[in-house]
Amino acid sequence: MVPNLISLLRLAGVPVFLWLLLGPKADAWALALLIFSALTDWLDGKLARWLNQMSRLGRLLDPAADRLYILATLIAFLLRDIIPWWVVVPLVLREAVLGVCVLLLRRGGFSPPEVTYIGKGATFVLMYAFPFLLVTQGGSDLAAFARPVGYAFTAWGAVLYVWSGALYVVQTVRALRSPAPTSPV
């Protein structure tokens, strides 16, 4: 299935992206890969719906690729001093809490929390923020333009990301308080 292959390609790009940022510090190539990842994130969902190739694997691969790109970008940007630790910690903590929620739900026989529009929006905004933040490196006119835009998208995306995490916790608590499902998930 084409959409799943695109998601796998995105996943394979994560270590390359990290290497470009942290190894040779090839920011232009890392930026191109980040933009490619964002475009293919949109494309795989569109193709899955258009070709009627939506699958359980695709529903796992797509958010996994999103989360890995977000985590990889946050860690690389922290190590490169592009963003401070106090921006990274709540976003990484949100991912850790969500991971615990998924484990608790599975242990209770439930499916992972439903993806919310706020969660999708948060991912979308952060995926826009990251290229702008990468462009801020340097003293060019483009960097001066990108700086406030990148910071604004980062602040907005971070708030939405943490908010969506809180909503996933609420979903998890509600599910765990309800009767366990009768069929295996």
* Distance between CA atoms of residues 14 and 151, nearest Å: 23
pLDDT at 177 over 70: yes
Nearest to 156 by CA among 114, 127, 136, 176: 127
pLDDT at 140 over 80: yes
Q: What average pLDDT does range 7-14 have in this prediction?
A: 93
pLDDT category at 38 given cuts 50, 70, 90 is confident
Q: State the virtual CA torsion across 37, 39, 40, 44 in degrees, nearest 10.
A: 140
pLDDT at 185 over 60: no
- Give the tens place of pLDDT for each residue, 53-88: 888 888 888 888 888 999 999 999 999 999 999 999
pLDDT at 183 over 70: no
- For residues 34 and 130, the answer to whether their CB atoms sit within 8 Å is yes
* Cβ-based neighbour number of residue 100 at 10 Å: 12
pTM: 0.87
Please give the share of the chain, as a percent, with pLDDT higher than 90.
69
DSSP alpha helix (H) spans, the chain? 2-22, 27-50, 56-79, 85-107, 117-135, 141-177
* Distance between CA atoms of residues 155 and 20, nearest Å: 25
